[in-house]
Amino acid sequence: MDCKITFITTKNRRRKAGFTFVEMMVALVIGMVVLAAVAIMSLYTSRSFAALNNYLDLDQRNQQALDHMSREIRQVHRLTAYNAASLTFEDYDGQPLQYAYDAGTRALIRSKGGQANTLLTGCDKLQFSIYQRTPISNKFEPFPTADIATVKLVELRWNCSRQILGTKANTENMQSAIIAIRQK
């Protein structure tokens, strides 16, 4: 049997040992760039999903408040008190029904029978307007009135917003509606 013994020199050993320091640093830098790109993409995606979810929730709450107010205002007997931030009606059952905007808490509050419910939060601005049914000549807009005895139409306008990570990123919603008092 022939037996060959091979001696591995130090030079051969170094060649087969693995990565050099320069190769390791290049791989580390490339890995960090890839990880940074993935982290930035995840942050952007999660922020976008949060903004979309926030916007949908805000829109749904605005629509529910508008539907609730429209249903109740259509059934009232008459308007009894008015200013740009508050409406008070005589409801169908003879009790007062009030909608008031509190600028300090940024909330729209409904009050009836000694109970107050918050319909909306996060309102930056809210304004009520009152109109007669008679339209302005050559326009299809209702005629504004200052006399609550002649009010037939009530206009609601509000602008609500929310913040995501300290900014108002596409989470703003504006609602506007004109509601007719049917009982009058």
Q: Is 27 within a domain?
A: yes
- Distance in angstroms (rounded) separating the CA atoms of residues 100 and 51: 29
pLDDT in the model for residue 129? 92
Confidence class for position 12, pLDDT limits 50, 70, 90: low
Could you report the per-residue pLDDT of 115-158, keeping only the tens digit for each?
999 998 888 899 999 998 877 777 778 878 888 888 999 999 98
Q: Is 17 within a domain?
A: no
Cross-strand bridge partners of residue 86: 83, 100
Q: Is 94 within a domain?
A: yes
Q: Is 4 within a domain?
A: no
Look up the domain containing 39 and give its range.
23-180
Its pTM stands at: 0.72
Could you report the per-residue pLDDT of 58-70, keeping only the tens digit for each?
888 889 999 999 9
Q: Is 74 within a domain?
A: yes
Q: Is 57 within a domain?
A: yes
Among residues of the chain, what percentage have pLDDT more than 70?
Answer: 86
Task: Round the CA-based radius of gyration of the chain to a whole number and report it.
Answer: 33
Q: Is 11 within a domain?
A: no
pLDDT in the model for residue 56? 85
Measure the CA angle with vertex 69, ends 123 and 121; round to 5°: 20
Looking at the 3D structure of the chain, how many domains does it have? 1
Could you report the per-residue pLDDT of 37-60, keeping only the tens digit for each?
999 999 889 888 888 888 888 888
